[in-house]
Amino acid sequence: MNDAIKNIILFITLILIQVIVLNNVLFWGYINPLLYILFVIIYPLKRDRGVFLFVSFLLGLCIDFFVDSGGIHAAATLFIAYIRLPLLKGLLRKPEIDFPVFNINKLPFLRLLSFITILTFIHHFIIFGLEYFRFNAIVTIFSRTFLTSIFTIILVIFSLLFMNKGK
């Protein structure tokens, strides 16, 4: 299947899963995992990043439309999309990445886990930081970031396993 079509399907599926299923799941009353950032994690790495940045922004904005949160999700998703390449370079300790052969699933598990963890934490921190946006709410921001991230990371890893098995 064509890469572009695959990505479009992934884009729509993730939004629908997020809105239909996950936004109705609230662990302990307020933890709402945000699986849709899986898109940013598995979108193929390319030299030209313009399209990727724009699509990530659009993905966040679509979620914002559904949950009436202004531009919080767009801002956070765009940010992790922008730092994805520098972060990968840093984690692999390589100045350049061989774009055509690079595959996120071929990373060693610990590297992959730290990659997912860092992206998820930053994303969630921006989300809750922008939502509360007050310095005296810093404890709430951190605790919600931490708890929600755990659920998101578990879901992301399970989805990666599931998608690899399907191939």
Q: Between 20 and 97, whose beta carbon lies closer to another protein?
A: 20
Within 3-22, the residues that bind another protein by CB under 8 A are 16, 19-20
Q: Between 51 and 161, whose beta carbon lies closer to another protein?
A: 51
**Residue 60 interacts with another protein (CB under 8 A): yes or no:** yes
Give how far Cα 24 sits from Cα of 19, 20, 33, 110, 130, Å.
8, 7, 10, 31, 22
User: What is the distance between the alpha carbons of residues 161 and 105, in angstroms, rounded to a whole number?
Assistant: 9
User: What is the distance between the alpha carbons of residues 92 and 62, in angstroms, rounded to a whole number?
Assistant: 32
Q: How far is the CB of 50 from another protein (least distance, A)?
A: 6
Q: How many residues bind another protein (CB under 8 A)?
A: 33
The answer to whether the beta carbons of residues 125 and 34 sit under 8 Å apart is: no
- Residue 107 phi/psi, 5-degree rounding, is -65, 150
The answer to whether the beta carbons of residues 111 and 87 sit under 8 Å apart is: no
**Residue 68 interacts with another protein (CB under 8 A): yes or no:** yes
Q: How far is the CB of 61 from another protein (least distance, A)?
A: 7
Q: Between 74 and 153, whose beta carbon lies closer to another protein?
A: 74
User: What is the distance between the alpha carbons of residues 42 and 136, in angstroms, rounded to a whole number?
Assistant: 36
**Residue 135 interacts with another protein (CB under 8 A): yes or no:** no
Token match 């809750």: residue? 128
Binding pattern for the stretch 70-89 against another protein, x by CB under 8 A and - elsewhere: xxx-xx--xx--x-------
Q: Which residues bind another protein (CB under 8 A)?
A: 16, 19-20, 24, 26, 29-30, 32, 49-50, 53-54, 57, 60-61, 64-72, 74-75, 78-79, 82, 130-133
